[in-house]
Structure 1
Amino acid sequence: MKKFFFKIKGRKYDVEVKQFEEGIAKVDVNGTEYDVEVETPEKPVSKTPRLVRRELDEDKPKKAPVATGAVIKAPLPGNIFKVLVNVGDEVKEGQTVMVMEAMKMENNIQTESAGTIKSIKVNVGDAVMQDDVLIELG
């Protein structure tokens, strides 16, 4: 199935996972086979972000929909590249307020409604996760 080479405290181990079924792995370590019981953690250990793609309605214009009520949220994980507004600025519906870099592309963050910038929760260079609040509108 999979073969690994480990070195622990200077000692080399040739490990091959032969079979994995129902939480039991048959493992060959330096020619000796073992049945290893594998426990899976209740919570995921990885902090790798999971990208959730949303279906787009074909009748709507294809822009990055990020404003929900009185906040503008990150549409996907990325880094803040530019902030184009300041606290107190009036914004119009569809106005680009921020640019973020995600997956090696620049993405315009736009408002879905008009309002006044109440607070900006991020700075240029900040890493954000999907649905993190970027801007509060008042």
Structure 2
Amino acid sequence: MLRKFKISIDGKEYLVEMEEIGGVPQAPVVAPVAPAVEAAPTPTPVEAATPAPTESTPAGNDAMPSPMPGTILKILVNVGDAVQENQPLMILEAMKMENEIVAGKAGTVTGIHVQQGDMVNPGEPLITIG
């Protein structure tokens, strides 16, 4: 994809055309399968009015931190998935741009600490790869 940018350096403007090459093709996203859960008691009308708490895995010190503030648009992996170094893990929208969060190392996803739609701040844990 060819993109054009206007860059100003020391007061002089330059028109630059850039082509994105070497991008990692995106694999089709498969909807996550919910784990089997024991039947919960039927909620009373009061319980039904309160939102259910979101389940998240507690983050350890080895969790990948968010590089910038933004909103999680897509999560591309599930807990238990084997990932390779530089494999896209999730899409983080920041300042109207979609940024791929990629694996810093190869391993297995042991915890996902955010959900689609979550707003994150820099340094907040996103995902753990063991």
The runs of 5 or more residues in structure 1 that have no matched partner are 1-68
Match of 2:65 among 68, 73, 84: 73
Instruction: State TM-score, norm by structure 1.
Output: 0.49
Percent identity over the alignment is 49
Regions of 4+ moved over 6 Å: none
Match of 2:102 in 1: 110
The runs of 5 or more residues in structure 2 that have no matched partner are 1-60
Of structures 1 and 2, the one with the larger relative CO (CA 8 A, separation 6+) is 2
How many angstroms apart in 2 are the aligned matches of 1:97 and 1:133?
13
Cα deviation 1:71-101 (Å, max 9, x = unaligned) = 2211100000000000000000000000010
Match of 1:133 among 122, 125, 128: 125
Cα deviation 1:8-29 (Å, max 9, x = unaligned) = xxxxxxxxxxxxxxxxxxxxxx
Match of 2:90 in 1: 98
Instruction: Note the aligned Cα RMSD (angstroms).
Output: 1.2
Match of 1:121 among 92, 113, 119: 113
Cα deviation, residue 70, structure 1:
3.5
Between the two proteins, the alignment pairs up a number of residues equal to 70
